[in-house]
Structure 1
Amino acid sequence: MPSNSKLLIDIQTASPAIEAALKKIASSALIKKWIKAATPLSGLLTLRFVNSTEGKKLNAAFRKKHYATNVLTFPYEHSKSALSADIIFCLPVIRKEAKEQGKTVKAHLAHLIVHGCLHAQGFDHEHEKETKKMEKLEVALLKKLGFTDPYLTTQ
């Protein structure tokens, strides 16, 4: 696989409150470790952490769904060796889902970062075969990062 040594990662937060909340979950260095584990390509990934208002606005504008969702991936360029994408994470939704699923916010965030990075590389879950392939890869990557299978119903 190509080396991701030239993968540029830009981490943005929508507000000081979101930045403070994110720092309580994971450091920038840890987030970058998760990204690099899931992204063997070079290029540019911008991760933006937002509140529910911005998350809802983006989901409505780009997916015609009028609610905030956990992660949105906007791939701009993808080849065998490089990619360019924005990945948006709605921190309040992620915290709520983690609580509902009985997971730590850190584990859920790691899963969604891996998930978003795979979308940026062209993986999808529109059909059952694609879903199984993507989920299998997510589970393997998360295991290497020290996390349990995020699809297990009891954790």
Structure 2
Amino acid sequence: MIELQLEDPAWREAMADVEAVVARAAAAVLTDTAASDGEPLATVLLEDDDAVRALNARFRDRDAPTNVLSFPANAVPGTPDADPYLGDIILAFGVCRREADEQGKPLAHHLSHLVIHGLLHLMGHDHQDDAEAEVMEARERTLLAGLGIEDPYRAILDRDP
């Protein structure tokens, strides 16, 4: 379903089963979507903060690392979109590790959430306004619950003063 590229060894050092965690989260999102030729539907790159910072600066004019970036594949204008490939998501180890620690959750749970979040972006979900955010977050909660992972937004809200 996905192609995984492990670029920063810190991911494996922190989580021996990182490939299984990513595959399980991706399968939760992509079970109803399939490439008939067995080709991957998305690529997940597990990077370091510097690589993600460079991409964030280049494509979003934000010179700082972020937890996850999504790059949807675009069909050629004027042609039918027969290619089921969704695009790429890139995750920054240091940012993800810090966020998981700050939120008091296992890195595997945070990684699962961000893989799901990124794949939903590739499938057209967004959170630019409150209505979109509610729909996307509800979908994330449902998918994560199916994996036995607590609501990630509740943990954040519980920490707000």
Structure 2-normalised TM-score? 0.82
Aligned to 2:133: 131
User: How many residue pairs get matched?
Assistant: 146
Find the structure with the greater CA-based Rg: 2
Residue identity opposite 2:19 in structure 1: S
Aligned to 2:59: 62
Aligned to 2:22: 31
Change (3 A) 1:130 1:90: same
**Is the Cα–Cα contact under 8 Å of residues 41 and 81 in structure 1 kept in the other structure?**
no
The structure with more strand, counted as a fraction of residues: 1
Q: Deviations over 1:109-130 (max 9, x none)?
A: 1100110110010000001110
Aligned to 1:74: 71
**Is the Cα–Cα contact under 8 Å of residues 70 and 93 in structure 1 kept in the other structure?**
yes
Matched, 1:140 2:132: no
Stretches of structure 1 that go unaligned for 5 or more consecutive residues are 1-6
Give the superposition deviation at 1:42. 2.5
Q: How do 1:2-151 residues align onto structure 2 when only pairs under 5 Å count?
A: 7=1, 9-15=2-8, 17-21=9-13, 23-24=15-16, 26-39=17-30, 40-43=32-35, 44-77=41-74, 82-151=84-153
When the two chains are superposed, the root-mean-square deviation of aligned CA atoms in Å is 2.1
Give the superposition deviation at 1:19. 4.9
Q: Deviations over 1:60-113 (max 9, x none)?
A: 001000100000000014879934211000011000001111111111111001
Alignment partner of 1:152: what SS? helix
Structure 1-normalised TM-score? 0.85
